[in-house]
Structure 1
Amino acid sequence: MNGLVLRDDVGPVTILTLNRPEKLNALSPELFHELRGHVDVIAKEGTQIRCIVVRGAGRSFCAGADINALKAGIVMEDREMRSETLERLGRMKQAVIASVHGHCYTGGLELALAADIIIAATDTTFCDTHAKLGIAPRWGMSARLPRRVGPAVAKRLSLTSEPIDAHEALRISLCDYVVSSERRDTFTMGIATNIATNDPSSIATIKHLYENSLAVSLDEALAYERQYTSSTVLR
């Protein structure tokens, strides 16, 4: 298989597979460029694709940023490209599922957090090692992790750098499902296929409204919902 990010379309579902298994799918600059390319292409394809699955090849989903590249001082021409790529993924009109297993560490966790739904195999270990490595998050951890699990739990995970297993992740709402490694791909495709049967404009609207509601008061969110959907007859 060629490419650092592979794309496979199964009907209206697109599967993006991180493909550096020998490096536990560490996020190198080259891998980020390929991921960005796929995200941009899918965004232009309209409603042909209705659900996106992000997964990893080999033993892990993603062990995080490519530490060797960081130590070598490799700097991307566009410093914001990596964070903007995850922002674009998170703002896709399609539903995005992260199907994780093995390592889901730091940058890999930030990638998973950009998804709408996280499905974890029982062998998954989640961990934020920013503090252990002496670096600050730039790809969305400080914004998305507290929204997922609450600020107190987010601080505990990030300040201790302690790994947690899939069942603890489910308990604190860091993931949405835990399934056996053998069932993960089949289970993920079942969820993705189910989502793909729903109306794509409704999916896009719901995602937009939920994201907006996090940034404003309840009254503002209610008013915005009425205003935004006033031209759409949903019910």
Structure 2
Amino acid sequence: TLDHIPLTLTLTQQPNRNKPSSVPPKSEENKMDRSASEKLILVNREPGGIAFVTINRPKSLNSLTKSMMTDLAQAFKALDRDESVRVIVLSGSGRAFCSGVDLTAAEDVFKGDVKDLESDTVAQMERCRKPIIGAIGGFAVTAGFEIALACDILVAAKGAKFMDTHARFGIFPSWGLSQKLSRIIGPNKAREVSLAAMPLTAEIAERLGFVNYVVEEGELLKKAREIAGAIVKNNQDLVLRYKSVINDGLKLDLGHALALEKERAHEYYDGMTKEQFKKMQKFIAGRSSKKPSSKM
């Protein structure tokens, strides 16, 4: 377990185990927002519609400063508006996904306007219409845990750990961990994870339905890319609508959620022209004659 770790910050003091970085490989085709030396949040757009966002502060196990949180929030806002982007993969460089907030600047991070959504990473992730795949390697601690919870699909490397240290350090959760986790893994297990600061391993998280896949560390981004590729092949408009109705329905009881689905279905079909129906039927006929190609 990680019970011997007295502070999130002490994670940064552990010796480097020389694990391979999970930063996506550079290519001439990728568009990088700024040079790596200038940015702690990297954004790479690929021609096929997949964008990679990387938290890039490996020496501090990707702990977040106020400016990093703002940059990360703005990255998701920009990608949501970019019509060339259809799915987003979020990862951390080095030995951790994100070790939480940089506690050396805690006052700067925690005080301020809580309604300022422009710098609220999780709020912008939740507003993002595009599917977000979290590629979790190493530690996802507290704020990092909450960022993982804001992803739509999670792939984790073997040995990855999720840890909530809010209660240990006297930090009140504000990015949803106190409410979201219990709805995914059940209230009793969530209380253990949060009140006892008990690490949740990737393997257990997968069994509880929080993590979709657990893979070897070297396969982390490959698996995330595979899922992203499967999403990109589908109808983009329906993917966006489907994500929206799932996430909005989770905020409601089942009866109202089913009514919401029916309402949006009627809106969708009522808005289609005869030509669009013909195209849909032709597309379905063409796909049904082909064998499924997905390996997932």
Q: Which contiguous aligned blocks of 4+ residues in structure 1 show a shift greater than 6 angstroms?
A: none
Number of aligned positions between the proteins = 232
Deviation, 1:217, is 2.6
Assess if the C-alpha contact under 8 Å between 1:110 and 1:139 holds in 2. yes
Deviation, 1:91, is 2.8
Amino acid at match of 2:147: L
Deviation, 1:77, is 4.8
Deviations 1:91-147 (A, max 9, x none): 311110110111111100000100000110002111111011111101111222122
Unpaired runs of at least 5, structure 2? 1-35, 270-279, 282-296
Assess if the C-alpha contact under 8 Å between 1:93 and 1:203 holds in 2. no
C-alpha separation in 1, matches of 2:266 and 2:136:
38
Given the alignment of the two structures, is residue 162 of structure 1 paired with residue 198 of structure 2, yes or no? Answer: yes
C-alpha separation in 1, matches of 2:156 and 2:127:
22
Match of 1:201 in 2: 237
C-alpha separation in 1, matches of 2:116 and 2:54:
20
Tell me, what secondary structure is at the counterpart of 1:215? coil
Give the alignment's TM-score, normalised by structure 1: 0.92
Match of 1:43 in 2: 80
Assess if the C-alpha contact under 8 Å between 2:155 and 2:224 holds in 1. yes
Change (3 A) 1:125 1:13: same
Name the larger-Rg structure.
Answer: 2
Identity between Structure 1 and Structure 2 (%): 32
Match of 2:257 in 1: 221
C-alpha separation in 2, matches of 1:162 and 1:31:
27
Given the alignment of the two structures, is residue 135 of structure 1 paired with residue 171 of structure 2, yes or no? Answer: yes
C-alpha separation in 1, matches of 2:256 and 2:113:
36
C-alpha separation in 2, matches of 1:5 and 1:228:
36
C-alpha separation in 2, matches of 1:30 and 1:42:
18
Match of 1:23 in 2: 60
C-alpha separation in 2, matches of 1:20 and 1:63:
10
| Superposed counterparts of 1:1-235, under 5 Å | 1-2=36-37, 3-10=39-46, 11-46=48-83, 48-70=84-106, 73-75=107-109, 77-81=112-116, 84-233=120-269
Assess if the C-alpha contact under 8 Å between 2:77 and 2:128 holds in 1. no
Give the alignment's TM-score, normalised by structure 2: 0.74
Deviation, 1:194, is 1.0
C-alpha separation in 2, matches of 1:172 and 1:147:
11
Unpaired runs of at least 5, structure 1? none
Deviation, 1:225, is 1.2
Greater RCO, CA 8 A, separation 6+: 1
C-alpha separation in 1, matches of 2:139 and 2:204:
15
Amino acid at match of 1:113: L
C-alpha separation in 1, matches of 2:263 and 2:169:
46
C-alpha separation in 1, matches of 2:88 and 2:265:
25
Tell me, what secondary structure is at the counterpart of 1:216? coil
CA RMSD of aligned residues (A): 1.8
